[in-house]
Structure 1
């Protein structure tokens, strides 16, 4: 594993620390009047999500970890697992639904996703930023209501609820942000 000095840790760096894999969320270089400089780093555990604040002295070395990005295709859901296929080797892997969280509802047959891998183990998943889905349930348009008024709830074909502008109706396709689980715009026909 490559090593870096404690003052070289930057946000997004993945390090091996305290027996786990951690990503640096925030860093703050501190140069006190007395004593040596140090880097105050907020770390997030890549496996269980725990957070940790740690001080790394400039002369301290830390092991950095290179994560491999691999493209997979979503195949299907089976019970509490999701099955993906490696687009290079065609090997299939199963991941628990809670690994993806509520965003698993956005997965569609054949959808390309990117997995961050460490030693052949999936650490995190990236879905496409946007997906197009159909509205299956929404309140009717109220006459005289302006577009500037509040959004109304609607249910998507995948069962998720989003807020949409009043002019969007049942049967229309919309583009949804998969990170925020939010309406972006009407889909182009």
Structure 2
């Protein structure tokens, strides 16, 4: 058990029987009354985000999360298949649980997978990935007076906004947290 004051980004806690990852937190000490902590939490089983307020002295249950290196093998239509790099065991994860991450995962890519009671609770992508642009419209010459963007499809099927100078076949660096174009690779 930890106090709400000990909450930090990335900590996993159990609230009302559900597991939540702390996405953001803010300690507040009003002029009157006791201090409290506002936290933005992501439910790891339902993949929903909630805001919760804790008294600063309130105890919350922190849980032990096991991290394993796994490799993304393929998607069979209903689920994504990952292989543990130590035991070579394969784990299937329903697509609806990892659909946000699948947009940036290539087959053969290594990821960190978080387990709780031998169940996958989250997949941690690298902060940046390099993917090839498979489709985009050519940029029109003279459209560069302002920072203009156009839609592009990358090799994983994800749609992102890229600058006009990016063409099909270019490799680009993408921030997996926001899904935004960073630079040409």
Fold match by TM threshold 0.5: yes
For residues 19-168 of structure 1, the aligned pairs below 5 Å read 19-24=17-22, 25-30=24-29, 33=32, 37-42=34-39, 44=41, 45-48=43-46, 49-56=48-55, 58=57, 60-146=58-144, 148-168=146-166
TM-score (norm 2): 0.83
2: distance between equivalents of 1:6 and 1:159?
40
- How many residues are paired up? 182
What displacement does 1:184 show? 1.6
What displacement does 1:22 show? 2.6
Question: Over residues 24-83 of structure 1, what are the superposed CA-to-partner deviations in whole Å (9 max), with x where a residue is unaligned?
Answer: 43142436645xx4433425232222524233352x433221211111001111121111
What displacement does 1:117 show? 1.1
**Is there any run of 5+ residues in structure 1 with no aligned partner, and where?**
none
4+ runs deviating over 4 angstroms? 31-34
TM-score (norm 1): 0.81
What displacement does 1:185 show? 1.5
CA RMSD of aligned residues (A): 2.4
* Larger of the two Rg values belongs to structure: 1
